[in-house]
Structure 1
Amino acid sequence: MKEVVIIGAGPSGLAAIRSLSKYKDEVKITVYEVSDRVGGVWVNRDPYKNSPMYDNLRANFPKEVIGYPGFPFPADIKESYLPHRMILEYIESFAKHFQLYQHIQFRHTVLNVDIISSVKGKERWNVMVRDEETGAITNKKCDAVIVATGHESKMYIPDFDGKQTYTGEIIHSRYYQNPSHYVGKTVVIVGAGFSGLDILVDIHTVAKKIYVSHHDDHITAPLCENAEYVKDIAKINGNDIIFIDGKVVQADIIFLGTGYRYDFSFLSEKCHPVIKEDHVTNIYRMMVDIAHPSLYYIGLNKLGSPIREFCVQADLAAALIAEKIPTPSREEMEKDYQDTYKKNVTDLGLKPKNFHVVSYTQWDYYDAVCKQTGQQQPDSIMAKKLYNRFLGNFYKDFFQFKQGIYKRLDAENFEVVYEPEVFST
């Protein structure tokens, strides 16, 4: 029987447990979670680890495209963009329904993952863990490791020229909880991704003035009366914030909606991936370490349908670990990686970090992985249609897009129950 260690019991870790549980007679599962509950980033104000959740957060994706396959949200929930507490309740009910808790050791921190042997390409691993309740450190030997720690723990803090001279506050989105601190303040929000624009929506009724600093050509939607778009910050001089076009403003707060960087500090030097410009290199199917094919990453990608991705990847990892499908040769894996890099980065003239951005390539990716595992991607046509609609609505009006309400009709179609009028024009 193979021993498998899963690091993390958030949405991706739970997907991995469920997939591996299908082979319970062939695989033994041990999961280490630093918190005292499942849910990962969806646990607001978790006392045991940092979380990007905040009080008024609603999911960026409608529930009709983000649920676990075969486990729909309760039928009595009519709204589509759910508050974080409802997402957490759903994740907890998923773990309970599929009896996943039995595999999880809560309040355990993984300190180190290392290779202890390699025979004919078969590696054995040692996972060093600390019990946070007792302080005891133990070592777990296993045949495969699944990293399901997410990518929202290591903040990205830009190093602005003159940052040390700034007389106001610099706050990363991780530390945001509610608008109370922003009443009457002038704020520069750096970044126009979901996190930065979410905070804009949350504080715009109380802030005095908001500047949204970004360089994304897709972000052109109208802003509220007390907000305006500005260019990237060139430098800071005391309370003067100077943008690359020469515009100068003064602000009380620079708010960093600049996201996160991948952090695998618990992986030893022998197996730590090379990360180039926020791109985890040399991974097959965007999840399998080519140099160490018994080391898997679930959920590296960004801007896809997250839980759908977790389940597709978890099924592939489980099938490979249980040897239900053959492990591709190193040459095959390297070719897949190079082809994917060319498609997602080189051909589009983008930066290496865009390797993991799968907004529009996710469906082909899911189909390829599902074909490899011999499974069918559920509701893929319906999900793709709704995903494209919601993303289009987001770019049209990010103040109102979460008011949309949708209903799944069948595997290919959905119904628009309600949308603000701006989205029908």
Structure 2
Amino acid sequence: MAKRVAVIGAGAAGLCAVRHLSASPEIFSVVCYELGPTVGGTWNYTDRTGKDENGLPIQSSMYKNLRTNLPKEVMAFPDFPFNTCLPSYIVHQDVLEYLKSYADQYNLYKYIKLNTMVTEVHSRQSTGSKELWDVSYCPSADRSQVQTQEFDAVMVCNGHYSLPLYPTIPGMEEFRGQVVHSHDYRKPDEFRGQTVVCLGAAASGQDIAIDVSHQAKMVYLSHNKSPLQTCLPENVQQKPGIAKLGTHSVTFLNGEEAELDVLLLCTGYHYHFHFLSSDCQVQISDERISPLYKHLVHIDHPTMAFVGIPKTICPFPQFDVQVRFFVSSLCGQFTLPSREEMISDTERDFQRRLSEGLPPRYAHVLGPWQWGYNDELAELAHIQLIPRVVQKLYDYVHETRVRDIARYKDCNYEITSEEDFKAV
């Protein structure tokens, strides 16, 4: 019998999982559950914030003017390029159309249950040592009609850009201005003529600060990194982190004080798996998910995988490697290490990060480590490596971004071989 695999989420990671599973119908039978009315996950822009028409939290964190901060030439799945007529830095609508085209190309819709909410996932042992999974689900619009289906494996692909992380800031309760998390940021027009603090200077914080500056009177980009060595718009100033808030003011860590209308929190997101029952034995502590081998495979339940957990990465190519790695383990093309070896490998990686001064919440942040990680997965599973040009262009773009955050998206690129690219 074919192995029955449940895929939770039909964003980029989930579509990639369905594509590779459905390519071997003699080995796998796949069902994908998607909460929304269409595929694409977070790339489905909506003006709405808070709750959707079914009373469920809005999943998307897209804002109206978002353009990708990576060129399409490195964003694509390895064998499915973007339309070459598009510029390198594309708008979110183009990414959504790309994902829909991907689903069409590989005939994925027939495996996907849209408008379907996964309510619970249970682990249970069948006869012998084989583990089975019970996945309970219901229509998004009528959560009283719950059904349950049995599976041999589960791939969790629900993303991690929907549950905002709110920091604790002294004076927050007394602050009388507006507090908005980037998850709910949509248009700069809403901040016309106002003084805004963007707290957080990761990629989205930087991009949103630039976007807001087109309408705001003043934007303070507040963060605890070394000062960004880049040109910024005249009305954007860098400041250190926030010491405290007043009723209509902010005091930065250097003691400087400024009047404030809006606090815009670009402070990231929580990992969140509300549908996992306690018998799934997944722990999240300080944004570290345990126990995961290679940020992917559940060590104690190796027929469960979490695709797309790492941060600061080139996402779609990595999703593809992660999916192919896990699918290869499910069909027996290679064997995962022993439980003890997986635990040791995971702890060794975590301790390396701590020894380099990174806090535990950076457990899944890869950055420059992503390329070695991708190659290791590919080599372990005997699957094709990501072409080296993806790393070369990704690193080059990072350098241009660091120098000129406001204009680096004006550049365009062309892949000329698996090893090289050129600016056009």
- Fold match by TM threshold 0.5: yes
Residues 169-221 of structure 1: per-residue CA shift (max 9 Å, x gap)? 00011111111111100001100011111111112122111111101126332
Partner AA of 1:31 in structure 2: C
Q: Which residue of 2 aligns with 1:384?
A: 391
Task: Say yes or no: does 1:361 pair with 2:366.
Answer: no
Q: Which of the residues 268, 278, 281 maps onto 2:277?
A: 268
Cα shift at 1:11: 0.1
Task: Say yes or no: does 1:401 pair with 2:402.
Answer: no
Task: Say yes or no: does 1:240 pair with 2:240.
Answer: no
Q: Which of the residues 84, 91, 108 maps onto 2:116?
A: 108
Cα shift at 1:118: 5.7
Task: Say yes or no: does 1:81 pair with 2:89.
Answer: yes
2:279 counterpart SS class: coil
Contact preservation (8 Å) 1:221, 1:396: yes
Cα shift at 1:241: 1.2
Distance 2:188 2:71 in 1: 24
Contact preservation (8 Å) 2:227, 2:238: no
Distance 1:210 1:134, change over 3 A: closer
Distance 2:142 2:134 in 1: 21
2:280 counterpart SS class: coil
Task: Say yes or no: does 1:19 pair with 2:27.
Answer: no
Cα shift at 1:248: 1.2
Q: Which residue of 1 aligns with 2:263?
A: 254
Q: Which of the residues 287, 292, 311 maps onto 1:302?
A: 311
Task: Say yes or no: does 1:339 pair with 2:340.
Answer: no
Cα shift at 1:162: 1.5
Partner AA of 1:181 in structure 2: E
Flag structure 1 segments of 5+ consecutive residues without an equivalent. 418-425
Distance 2:212 2:340 in 1: 51
How does the TM-score come out when normalised to structure 1? 0.94
- Between 1:293-302 and 1:266-275, the stretch displaced more is 266-275
Structure 1 segments, 4+ long, off by >4 Å, are: 118-121
Distance 1:334 1:167 in 2: 48
Cα shift at 1:82: 0.6
Q: Which residue of 1 aligns with 2:140?
A: 132
Q: Which of the residues 220, 233, 236 maps onto 1:227?
A: 236
Distance 1:165 1:347 in 2: 39
Cα shift at 1:134: 4.9
2:325 counterpart SS class: helix
Q: Which residue of 1 aligns with 2:379?
A: 371
Cα shift at 1:227: 1.8
Q: Which residue of 2 aligns with 1:420?
A: none
Identity between Structure 1 and Structure 2 (%): 33
Distance 1:125 1:104, change over 3 A: same
Residues 31-60 of structure 1: per-residue CA shift (max 9 Å, x gap)? 100011110011001856331101110111
Task: Say yes or no: does 1:217 pair with 2:218.
Answer: no
Contact preservation (8 Å) 1:264, 1:272: no
Contact preservation (8 Å) 2:375, 2:386: no
Distance 2:291 2:231 in 1: 40
Distance 1:225 1:121 in 2: 65
Cα shift at 1:133: 4.5
Alignment of 1:168-183 (within 5 A): 168-183=177-192
- Between 1:43-52 and 1:175-184, the stretch displaced more is 43-52
Task: Say yes or no: does 1:148 pair with 2:157.
Answer: yes
RMSD (Å) for aligned C-alpha atoms: 1.5
